[in-house]
């Protein structure tokens, strides 16, 4: 993995950007045999793109993990296959081992800088909401990433959401409120879709146990005595009295 500086953007002369370089080799091991790759710290990958045939690759797991942690699915990566010239790619998808969560496969998409692409961009929540801090409100995060469409060089690496302005129950940010250059970046969600909102804190239901009155205690006591008498084959106290009166 290497880093290099290159000029980019609509006005390329205005600013610079770090390019992340990932090395790969063409892969001839296919099918179930790819398990042997993973034992050597290498993972299988597939490269595809617009009007480009799919290519099977192998990547260093360690190098890919480092780059993926920084680039995510919205930052361009310079992919170098063997001794070929680098090509611009985005990470489109990764597969993970369910138990260990370790990456086992990667899909890379080769882009054309003049054609728009769809990418998943993470939302970064900054600031602090005072009611949440005091425990009088609950912060509900409804979206933590969002799909966008843009030219590869216009893709934001992340979208920042400042939640410090959320001060009342019901305050929220919708997709339409996200701070992006909407002339260059299209958000693939409904404008009114909620991103984050303040809600009332969860209330725990209290179970109130009413104290028994003396009359209720006496009735319960007599009932138990009657049940005991019936079990032992005796007449309950109340019934004996009635019998005597009858006699």
Token digits of residue 180: 């992006």
Cβ atoms of 131 and 137 within 8 Å: the answer is yes
Q: What is the mean pLDDT of residues 119-142?
A: 94
Q: Residue 223's pLDDT band (boundaries 50, 70, 90)? A: low
At 37, the pLDDT band (50, 70, 90 cuts) reads confident
pLDDT of residue 7: 40
Compute the mean pLDDT over every residue in the chain, rounded to the nearest whole number.
Answer: 81
Q: Which CATH architecture has domain 119-199?
A: Beta Complex (2.170)
Mean pLDDT across the stretch 109-119?
Answer: 94
Q: What is residue 72's DSSP assignment? A: T
pLDDT category of residue 221 using cuts at 50, 70 and 90: low
CATH of 2-112, one of 1.10.510.10, 3.40.50.10420, 3.40.605.10, 2.40.240.10: 2.40.240.10
pLDDT-derived band of residue 8, with 50, 70 and 90 as boundaries? Answer: very low
Q: Quote the pLDDT of residue 17.
A: 47
pLDDT in tens, 172-218: 999 999 999 999 999 999 999 999 999 998 754 444 455 555 565 55
Q: Confidence band (pLDDT; 50, 70, 90) for 79?
A: very high
> Where does CATH 2.40.240.10 sit in the chain?
2-112
Q: Is residue 132 classed exposed, middle or buried when 0-12, 13-18 and 19+ CB atoms within 10 A define those classes?
A: middle
Residues 188, 215 contacting (CB under 8 angstroms): no
In sign, the C-alpha dihedral spanning 217, 220, 226, 232 is negative
CA 44 – CA 161 distance, rounded (Å): 36
- For residue 204, the SS3 value is coil
What's the pLDDT score for residue 53? 84
Whether 84 and 110 have beta carbons less than 8 Å apart is answered as: no
Calculate the CA 170 to chain-centre distance: 22
Confidence of residue 227 (pLDDT cuts 50, 70, 90): low
Q: Please determine, for residue 242, whether its predicted confidence score (pLDDT) is greater than 60.
A: no
Indicate where the chain has its CATH 2.170.120.20 domain(s). Answer: 119-199
pLDDT higher than 50, residue 6: no
Task: Report the pLDDT value the prediction gives residue 106, as an integer from 0 to 100.
Answer: 95
pLDDT category at 15 given cuts 50, 70, 90 is very low
What's the confidence (pLDDT) of residue 210? Answer: 53
Percent of the chain residues past pLDDT 70, beyond the cut: 73
Using CA atoms, how far apart are residues 170 and 173, in angstroms rounded to an integer? Answer: 10
> What span, in angstroms and rounded, lies between the C-alpha atoms of 149 and 120?
9
145 close to 122: Cβ distance less than 8 angstroms? yes
Q: How far apart are CA 219 and CA 216, in angstroms?
A: 5
């Amino acid at each position: 993995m290497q880093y290099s500086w290159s000029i980019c953007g609509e006005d390329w002369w205005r600013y610079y950007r770090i390019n992340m370089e990932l090395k790969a080799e063409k892969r001839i091991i296919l099918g179930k045999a790819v398990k042997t790759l993973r034992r050597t710290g290498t993972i299988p990958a597939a490269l595809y793109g617009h009007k480009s045939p799919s290519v099977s690759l192998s990547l260093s797991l360690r190098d890919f993990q480092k780059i993926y942690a920084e680039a995510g699915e919205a930052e361009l990566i310079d992919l170098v296959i063997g001794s070929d010239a680098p090509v611009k790619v985005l990470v489109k998808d990764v597969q993970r081992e369910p138990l260990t969560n370790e990456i086992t496969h990667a899909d890379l998409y080769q882009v054309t800088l003049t054609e728009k692409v769809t990418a998943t961009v993470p939302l970064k929540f900054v600031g602090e909401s005072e009611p949440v801090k005091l425990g009088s409100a609950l912060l509900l995060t409804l979206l933590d990433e969002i799909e966008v469409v843009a030219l590869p060089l216009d893709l934001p690496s992340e979208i920042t959401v400042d939640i410090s302005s959320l001060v009342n129950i019901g305050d929220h940010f919708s997709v339409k409120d996200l701070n992006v250059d909407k002339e260059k970046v299209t958000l693939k969600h409904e404008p009114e879709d909620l991103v984050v909102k303040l809600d009332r804190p969860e209330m725990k239901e209290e179970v109130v146990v009413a104290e028994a009155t003396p009359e209720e205690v006496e009735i319960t006591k007599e009932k138990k005595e009657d049940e005991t008498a019936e079990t032992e084959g005796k007449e309950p106290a109340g019934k004996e009295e009635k019998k005597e009166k009858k006699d």
